[in-house]
Structure 1
Amino acid sequence: MVLVSLFAALIAVLGLIPKIDLPLGVPITMQTLGVMLAGCILGPKRALQAVTLFLLAVALGLPLLSGGRGGMGVFFSPASGYLMGWPIGAFVTGLMMSAMSTATPRSSAISAFFASAIGGLLVVHVFGVVGLVNIANLTWAQAVTGTLVFVPGDLIKCALCAIVVHTVARGLPDWRFGD
């Protein structure tokens, strides 16, 4: 329970880093890094719980999203698909991490990069595109094109996640990633 709460708080803290607003209606934030870290470090079940706890706090009105946003209205904004993708993305990241090698710090970092790219990037963006089509009334082509602007930054977040996982693996060699 402590780790779940800690990672929900980490996602909230990452929201303190100022967002970059885009014309698409979906800001660039660092909070996706928290989703990736939760999946890689906590595993699928606890990562899902952590991100769900965070989103529940946001739904209750706490201004925890980047830019001080919160409340039910954010779930009806163009960013809603991405937000709904966070728990699933964290879960998939954890599943991928549990299926890959974590025998050494280096292999843990490589696994974390690929797990976060699949769960924290691909899965979240699929949900985001669906949200843009349904909420922002974009065409599929417009939504896919629009979400591509996030990919370079998200790949940097995947690399940061891998660095953190490498550090955790070196400092806590008995840590079981993806469990």
Structure 2
Amino acid sequence: MASLPQCRSLEYVKHLTMSVTDLAVAATTFLVFVGSFHLNQRLDSYMLYTPGVSLIFIPAGVKLLSILIGRLPAIVGLYIASVYVSTEIWRDLQAASLYLFAAASVFSYAIAAYVVMTLAGIFRDLHNLRYHHIVVLSLSASVFNSVAHNAAYLMVGVTATDAQWVTSAAMALGDFLGCLAVVSFFHAVTLMLKKV
């Protein structure tokens, strides 16, 4: 049986390992989100509806998938990544506005995912995730994000009230299609790997 000092040192090592793992998840999430954002920008000539609104927004799918898999560490990585990419889009806005946009973007997805997973009985390890769950997750996250994001835009004054509903609908559609594509692809790959 391990002595008390040995038990404490094992707990410390376990805590330290979890912290390193969490940091790795946050860093990986940051890099993947920023990479997907830049990939989406390259495709803007085909998919851009209006500045900041793409009709298929791949980073939305990366965001939802990251939250589903990586939980809180992924949310931290996504928040930092969202602030980072916001500096590329909104160069003339104050930092507080960028933090607000990032919070609306990331936390709307996290809240929607948590609510849908709880109501639908989706397990944390996602082993009972089905295609209809992906559709509901994608729809809920994209609509909630669109409303939250555009409310933040109105608060800061970067969008006109008369264009609000059209912009919200376009953003929701782009996010929905991005979520559906990325999470469905992940789901299909995991199902194939289970059969191998």
TM-score interval, smaller chain: 0.5 to 0.7
Q: Does structure 1 retain, via aligned residues, the 8 Å contact 2:150–2:168?
A: yes
* Unaligned 5+ runs, structure 1: 59-63, 174-179
Given residue 146 of structure 2, which amino acid in structure 1 is its aligned partner?
H
Q: What is the alpha-carbon distance in structure 2 between the residues aligned to residue 95 and residue 172 of structure 1?
A: 25
In percent, how many aligned pairs have the same letter? 6
**Greater CA radius of gyration, 1 or 2?**
2
* Count of residue correspondences: 161
Alpha-carbon distance between aligned partners in 2 of 1:27 and 1:88, rounded to the nearest angstrom: 19
Match of 2:35 among 13, 26, 29: 13
Summarize deviations over 1:82-120 as a string: whole Å, max 9, x none.
54322212312441454234478674443233123212x
Is the counterpart of residue 54 in structure 1 residue 54 in structure 2?
Answer: no
Question: Secondary structure of 1:128's partner?
Answer: helix
Q: Is the Cα–Cα contact under 8 Å of residues 41 and 94 in structure 1 kept in the other structure? A: no
Instruction: Quote the residue 1:30 is aligned against.
Output: 58
The residue aligned with 2:108 is 89
Alignment of 1:61-76 (within 5 A): 64=85, 69=88, 73=92
Normalized against structure 1, the TM-score is what? 0.68
Distance 1:52 1:69, change over 3 A: same
The Cα shift of 1:22 comes to 4.1
Residue aligning to 1:123: 144
Identify if the C-alpha distance between structure 1 residues 50 and 170 changes in structure 2 by more than 3 Å, giving closer, same or farther: farther
- CA deviation digits over 1:38-74, x for unaligned, max 9? 122223x233222123235x1xxxxx46xx9268646
Segments of 5+ residues of structure 2 without an aligned counterpart are 1-21
State the superposition RMSD in angstroms: 3.6
Deviation at 1:17, TM superposition (A): 1.4
